Structure 1
Amino acid sequence: MPLAFATVLAGVLLPAGAATAGEPPAVVLHAAPDGGGSACSTGRPCSVEGAKDRVRHLLPSGRARDVVVELADGTYRLDQPLEFGPEDSGRGAHRVTWTAAHGAHPVLSGALKVTHWTLRDKDKNIWEAPLPKGLDTRQVYVDGKRAPISQTTPAELNLSFAAASGGYTTTPATWGQDLLATVGADALRKVEFVYTGGNGPWTQSRCRIESAQSPTLLMQQPCWGNVTKRPTFTQASGSLPSMKAGTAPTRIENGYPFLHPGQWYVDQERGVLDYIPAAGADIHSLDVEVPRLGTLVKGAGTLDAPVRNLTFSGLDFAYATWLEPSSAAGFADVQDNLRLTGDDPDRPQATCTFGTPAGTCPFGALTRQPGNVQFTAAHDIVLRGNTFTHLGAAGLVIEHGSRDNTVEGNTFADISGNGIILGSTTDPNPSDVGADDREINTGNTLANNLIHHAGADYPSAAGITLFFTQHTLVTHNELRDLPYTGISEGVIQGHVDNAAHPENTTNINSDNTISHNLIHRYMQVLKDGGAVYVEGHQGQTIKASDGSVDRAGSVAHGLTVAGNVAYDQGNVNFTWYDDAGAQWLNWTGNLEWGAKQAQGGCQTTGHLDYVGNVQSGLTGEFHCSPPVPVDTRIEGNRAIPSTPGAADLPADTVAQAGLTGRWQRLTTSTEPGVGYAHKATDGGGVLVAGHGFGPHTRVDFDGVPATRITVLSNGVLNAEPPSGTDPVRVTVTTHAGSATAVLS
């Protein structure tokens, strides 16, 4: 009999089956990928769906107790999402825990494994395998790695574009007509144009072709209008740029004629997957996974009856897609994977009373990306020690009406969109949706999570995105290898606020903290973002008894950004970014180096403190218009070189940022990376920054061991080269692998 995995009861680690004094023992059920029936025993395990039914049967019967479902090793291929409601919740103080059995790594998969390959085109080495007819996906994975969809570029096709009503004219004029003749009308309408930077350098929009009649290509609506004719609003402190008509796509995707080695194409009409394997690969030995579900796990309660007291631990949530960008609405990117989907130009989406004509309300209620794992009206949900990977939307979304939830010690990797989203765009205030204060997300914690390679398909994604919340704690996470911003708070909401008109929009934000996070190798694809990006009201304007503004109280109950460390940035504007309408926030004890501008923004309202930070970049860089001058404190900060040595860094800040305790293994158990390696000018050695460093890390310079190594954190170390040498390369080696970088 396998040992039961430890579970969490009332905040104390207890083995499954144990109970606190006076409490009945937990009921332990067992599930397996090939399970069936309703016994749910070790000898006769249930399927995961059967275990869920068994839990639902047990909960109302007899004395309240904890229920633990242990999942055996293997892949659980889901035909439909696992949905949890109030009837699946723990009763009273008791919990229902879904966990990996001891030593097991269960995978909850939304994918179909593809087999039975036949050679379709010998000359091009195109193979095909059967799929259920009509199945669609936007992702395919080969041997655990994301495979690119069939694609080409205008340059490869020697193709140019000019503006036309509703789309383009092309040169050669017959390109669209020729493609139509080759693939047919249905397949033509699946061809997708990608526009990197088309709606601002922080965006990547996508629209599909509607029809082709030489020399004209018409694009699908409403996507095309939402990309090229965006609504405007008055008193704008930040615009929604329209893409210039005639802008050529940076990439053309999803056409059979575009197939290159390593790429795939789904022919829905024929019900096949086409794929060109890499040179030398044996198609019959490849593990090819085609995601078919858009949701793996969904927890949905109501304000009156929330879903509650559930724990998920040690599970892999893997292989899901998201098909909305394949619709006529496409992916009309605005920022941070928010997009325009409205189709009524007489009532523009989310401009509310700030545009002419007036639009839908509330202001800024753009369409948010869903989560492949998602919770709504959820209380006291714990997601601990799981892996979210190979996903086609956001990894995890916790929507409105959710409180006291904990997301701790999880890995989010290889995700098409955002890593984690907390909140919704539609409810800056509960009254906006006709609700009461139970609508507010409050008391949620995101801690010790490793988030990397999010934004794989939609690069405007942030690692963590917060909308409207109270008493939220985002702490000790490591975010790296991201195409855009690390942590984003308040996207779009401040776009009609600044120092001249600070109260056009309001929200319930207050008492939120972003602290001790390690953020590096971000802004690797798009531009105009930061390590922590902030817009709009971050707290309430609190009045003193005499009617004057209580500045200290307002800042104290706003957003606190403290003790975070950022380095190795890409196209960053400001590391710590106070953007449109940002107000009531406190930056303190943060460290950054390598950016030209450490702190500032455009159309910032003000009412902020930037005190006691350490940085190499410029501070107080408020462009476009100045913030409230008498109410902005920038003082007590320390400047360091853009290429600092170890002695320049505040050691405590470096040591405390990122993963802590047992969760450090999330980064040290994988191959290390080096993104920054620079010789100190004072002879103090070489400062090396990256990820995955541990206490037994080895450092070599041009193959010769360092004379001394000081590991400052999982992401930063200092090493001294052998005396009298002038090394060119540094290699960092841990038990998980090695990484080499050229010294600068």
Structure 2
Amino acid sequence: MDRIISWNKKDETTQIPKPPVNIENINGMEMFIHQWWEIAILRIKQMKISGDSAQLFFRQPESRIQSEHPWPAPWISKETGNSAFYLSNAIEFLDEPGEWYADQQNKKIYYWPRDGEDLNVATVTAPLLENLVTIEGTIDDPITNIHFKNISFQHTAWYRPSLQGHVPHQTGMPMTDAYKLRPAGTKNKTSLENQAWITRPEAAVKASFANNIFFEECRFKNLASTGLDYHKGVKNATIKGNLFKGVGGTAILAGVFADEATEIHLPYNPKDERVVTDSITITNNFITDATNEDWGSVGIGLGYTRNATIAHNELKT
């Protein structure tokens, strides 16, 4: 991967080596950048070529959040090299079979067939839904006793990067706002220098306020964001013996990391403890090729939970 040359937080721009091809239409083009423990996906608004370098401008709201939040930020280092990046979604980037380009303006998809592929008889799957199944009760009336066994959940989309960019804080949790404290320090932590608020990635299957929910021997495949999410108020629930393969984000997610209205560094202290996910069991699952779109996500991620059992799961790249 190429490396950025510099990042200008004041102008909210970055300097990169000039792309190897001339790009006529940047509409829909994105920058994927690796920074510390996360990545960011930024929609490109403008590109100015000057000699052997290019200056990139980005769309809002991700442009401001990317440049205002201090951690994780683009890596600048003479010793180890600057942040790695790549650009995507320009038709000029197609240079080998199997690649495709989405022309959003004209609503067309261009695809370079592999040897032996005949698009007249090919099966083409274009995911539309981000969420396939939602199990959602209320805090006073939770859903109870649902058992999924030997069911396949496949082919979901992930729209956030293309609609508003994706600048995550940790574990693939997108930031809705963030900034640097000047001067540093809060009432709870004198050394803290940043503030951030997060939302939750979309999931193919998600449950909240549900008791005795089982997923057993199911298959979660070709999913663009989170696979299975036990979010708020899930009690006595099990995820056992399932396959998670080809997941763009986190395979299994459970528990609240922070409420959207609460700053991420504050302790999670809900007024009603019934929202806490409690007594969940995650065992004997096989997770492979997860986090392949959002590299900062994880195989299994738990926020604030109680009495969780995670045992005998196999995670492979």
Deviation at 1:162, TM superposition (A): 4.5
Q: 2:292 aligns with which of 453, 456, 471?
A: 456
Deviations 1:576-611 (A, max 9, x none): xxxxxxxxxxxxxxxxxxxxxxxxxxxxxxxxxxxx
The aligned counterpart of 2:153 is 317
Which amino acid is the alignment partner of residue 243 of structure 1?
A: P
Q: What are the residue-to-residue correspondences of 1:556-575 with 2, within 5 Å?
A: none
Deviations 1:645-693 (A, max 9, x none): xxxxxxxxxxxxxxxxxxxxxxxxxxxxxxxxxxxxxxxxxxxxxxxxx
Deviation at 1:279, TM superposition (A): 2.6
What is the distance in 1 between the residues matched to 2:246 and 2:46? 33
The aligned counterpart of 2:201 is 369
Deviation at 1:243, TM superposition (A): 1.3
* 1:219 aligns to 2:58 (yes or no): yes
Taking a change above 3 Å as real, the CA distance of residues 345 and 323 of structure 1, as seen in their structure-2 partners, is: farther
Q: Is the 8 A contact 2:30 2:88 kept in 1?
A: yes
* 1:403 aligns to 2:235 (yes or no): yes
What is the distance in 2 between the residues matched to 1:275 and 1:222? 30
Deviation at 1:463, TM superposition (A): 1.1
Q: What are the residue-to-residue correspondences of 1:585-664 with 2, within 5 Å?
A: none
Which amino acid is the alignment partner of residue 171 of structure 2?
A: D
Deviation at 1:373, TM superposition (A): 0.6
Q: Is the 8 A contact 1:352 1:359 kept in 2?
A: no
* Residues paired across the two proteins, number: 295
Taking a change above 3 Å as real, the CA distance of residues 284 and 353 of structure 1, as seen in their structure-2 partners, is: farther
The aligned counterpart of 1:258 is 93
Deviations 1:527-585 (A, max 9, x none): xxxxxxxxxxxxxxxxxxxxxxxxxxxxxxxxxxxxxxxxxxxxxxxxxxxxxxxxxxx
Q: 2:29 aligns with which of 191, 198, 201?
A: 191
What is the distance in 2 between the residues matched to 1:416 and 1:358? 28
Which amino acid is the alignment partner of residue 338 of structure 1?
A: M
Q: Is the 8 A contact 1:228 1:244 kept in 2?
A: no
Which amino acid is the alignment partner of residue 424 of structure 1?
A: V
Q: Is the 8 A contact 2:209 2:233 kept in 1?
A: yes
Q: 2:12 aligns with which of 137, 154, 166?
A: 166
* 1:422 aligns to 2:254 (yes or no): yes
Q: What are the residue-to-residue correspondences of 1:691-702 with 2, within 5 Å?
A: none
Larger strand percent: 2
Q: Is the 8 A contact 2:7 2:74 kept in 1?
A: no
Deviation at 1:311, TM superposition (A): 1.4
What is the distance in 2 between the residues matched to 1:322 and 1:435? 32
Deviation at 1:217, TM superposition (A): 2.5
Q: Is the 8 A contact 1:228 1:243 kept in 2?
A: no
TM-score, normalised relative to structure 1: 0.37
Taking a change above 3 Å as real, the CA distance of residues 315 and 227 of structure 1, as seen in their structure-2 partners, is: same
Q: What are the residue-to-residue correspondences of 1:418-497 with 2, within 5 Å?
A: 418-426=250-258, 435-481=271-317
What is the distance in 2 between the residues matched to 1:162 and 1:478? 40
What is the distance in 2 between the residues matched to 1:357 and 1:452? 36
* 1:243 aligns to 2:74 (yes or no): yes
What is the distance in 2 between the residues matched to 1:340 and 1:257? 31
Deviation at 1:226, TM superposition (A): 3.4
What is the distance in 2 between the residues matched to 1:299 and 1:352? 38
- Which has the higher relative contact order, 1 or 2, with Cα contacts under 8 A spaced 6 or more apart? 2
The aligned counterpart of 1:412 is 244
TM-score, normalised relative to structure 2: 0.81
Deviation at 1:219, TM superposition (A): 1.9
The aligned counterpart of 1:617 is none
Which amino acid is the alignment partner of residue 297 of structure 1?
A: V
The aligned counterpart of 2:169 is 334
Deviation at 1:451, TM superposition (A): 1.2
* 1:230 aligns to 2:69 (yes or no): yes
The aligned counterpart of 2:138 is 302
The aligned counterpart of 1:680 is none
* 1:389 aligns to 2:221 (yes or no): yes
Taking a change above 3 Å as real, the CA distance of residues 415 and 163 of structure 1, as seen in their structure-2 partners, is: closer
Which amino acid is the alignment partner of residue 59 of structure 2?
A: Q
Give the match's secondary structure for 2:92. helix
Taking a change above 3 Å as real, the CA distance of residues 352 and 256 of structure 1, as seen in their structure-2 partners, is: farther
Larger helix percent: 1
Q: What are the residue-to-residue correspondences of 1:10-409 with 2, within 5 Å?
A: 161-164=5-8, 165-169=11-15, 172=18, 179=23, 182-183=24-25, 188-196=26-34, 198=35, 200=36, 202-215=37-50, 216-231=55-70, 240-244=71-75, 249-260=84-95, 261-328=97-164, 330-342=165-177, 353-354=188-189, 359=195, 366-409=198-241
Deviation at 1:400, TM superposition (A): 1.3
What is the distance in 2 between the residues matched to 1:400 and 1:414? 25
What is the distance in 2 between the residues matched to 1:476 and 1:434? 31
The aligned counterpart of 1:576 is none
Deviation at 1:421, TM superposition (A): 0.4
Which amino acid is the alignment partner of residue 191 of structure 1?
A: M
What is the distance in 1 between the residues matched to 2:198 and 2:142? 25
Deviations 1:68-98 (A, max 9, x none): xxxxxxxxxxxxxxxxxxxxxxxxxxxxxxx
Percent identity at matched positions? 25
What is the distance in 2 between the residues matched to 1:377 and 1:242? 36
What is the distance in 1 between the residues matched to 2:72 and 2:154? 35
Q: Is the 8 A contact 1:401 1:438 kept in 2?
A: yes
What is the distance in 2 between the residues matched to 1:468 and 1:337? 16
Taking a change above 3 Å as real, the CA distance of residues 274 and 434 of structure 1, as seen in their structure-2 partners, is: same
Deviation at 1:282, TM superposition (A): 2.0
Which amino acid is the alignment partner of residue 193 of structure 1?
A: M
Give the match's secondary structure for 1:320. coil
Q: Is the 8 A contact 1:336 1:460 kept in 2?
A: yes
Deviation at 1:437, TM superposition (A): 1.5
Give the match's secondary structure for 1:289. coil
Unaligned runs of 5+ in 1: 1-152, 232-239, 482-744
Taking a change above 3 Å as real, the CA distance of residues 357 and 275 of structure 1, as seen in their structure-2 partners, is: same
Deviation at 1:195, TM superposition (A): 1.7
Larger Rg: 1
Deviation at 1:225, TM superposition (A): 4.0
What is the distance in 2 between the residues matched to 1:241 and 1:408? 34
Which amino acid is the alignment partner of residue 73 of structure 2?
A: S
